[in-house]
Structure 1
Amino acid sequence: MTVDHTAPGDLAPHPVDLRAGELAALLARAHNIPADVHRLPSGEPVVSVYYGLVVRIDDTCRFWWVVPASVGRRRPLWTSATVPAVAASRIAGHYRELRARPPGHLIRGGYLTADVLMEHHTASAPI
């Protein structure tokens, strides 16, 4: 008979969790943008950057987020990146764009907190 003596603390973190932490650290270090890693009720880690700017990491460690609507594009757009530094750089641009808008406009425009935003986009999530 074999006995497993592995404690939960002995298990290595999942690569998706590591990538989420890496992105949050890059945003803070390279772009001076505070970002938090959260776990949705589904267990999926997401990086919360700002109202309407939440990054999910899929099982292949690809970063997905919704680009805010702009003057030339009235609808939000899903986009992705595979390299953390590239994702951080692009997300930083979207962050600056959103920060330039009044917070009331973001909330009235449907930009929501992380868990509600992710629930809203689950049906249209990338394949």
Structure 2
Amino acid sequence: MTVDHRTPEDLAPPPAELRARELAALLARSHNIPADVHRLPSGKIVISVYYGLVARLDDACRFWWIVPISADRDRPLWTSAATPVAAAIRIAGHYRELRARPLAHLIHGGYLLTDVLMEHHEAAAPL
């Protein structure tokens, strides 16, 4: 029989995951927006909000996501927020904007969670 010598601190989620969960909870509670938190095999954390709206956390626990294409801008734009509250407010606006668009358009031209996963796997094991 083996003994697990890990401490409760070893089993606790990393700070980035806690911040991501905080963002997901704020989106749900304050904006009625469902979001899923995912930990990649590398340990990086992503928050899937909607088609074309996936946020990431960097090493400093800052939130990053791609702002959808709009009438004023013909290409996506990376943006960020330092706190879960600021990220939730801004992401909620982008979510409403995306929900107003046809789903087929978003799937064709959006940045999806699968894109994040593919980038991760390609970087980890290039072909």
Would you say same fold, with TM above 0.5? yes
Question: How far did residue 7 of structure 1 move?
Answer: 5.0
Q: 2:104 — aligned with what?
A: 104
Letter in 1 for 2:96: R
Q: Quick one: structure 1 residues 120 and 76, their matched pair in 2 at CA, closer, same or farther if it must change by over 3 Å? A: farther
TM-score by length of 2: 0.83
Q: Quick one: structure 1 residues 99 and 116, their matched pair in 2 at CA, closer, same or farther if it must change by over 3 Å? A: same
Question: How far did residue 118 of structure 1 move?
Answer: 5.9
**Which stretch of the first structure deviates more once superposed, 6-15 or 97-106?**
6-15
Unaligned runs of 5+ in 1: 122-127
Q: 1:59 — aligned with what?
A: 59
d(CA) in 2 for partners of 1:48, 1:8: 28
- 1:1-127 matches, within 5 Å, as 5-7=5-7, 10-108=10-108, 110-117=109-116, 119=118
Percent identity reads: 68
| Corresponding pairs, count | 120
Find the residue that maps to 1:48 and give its secondary structure. strand
TM-score by length of 1: 0.83
Question: How far did residue 113 of structure 1 move?
Answer: 2.7
Find the residue that maps to 2:70 and give its secondary structure. coil
Unaligned runs of 5+ in 2: 121-127
Higher helix residue share: 2
d(CA) in 1 for partners of 2:59, 2:10: 22
Question: How far did residue 44 of structure 1 move?
Answer: 1.2
Q: 2:124 — aligned with what?
A: none
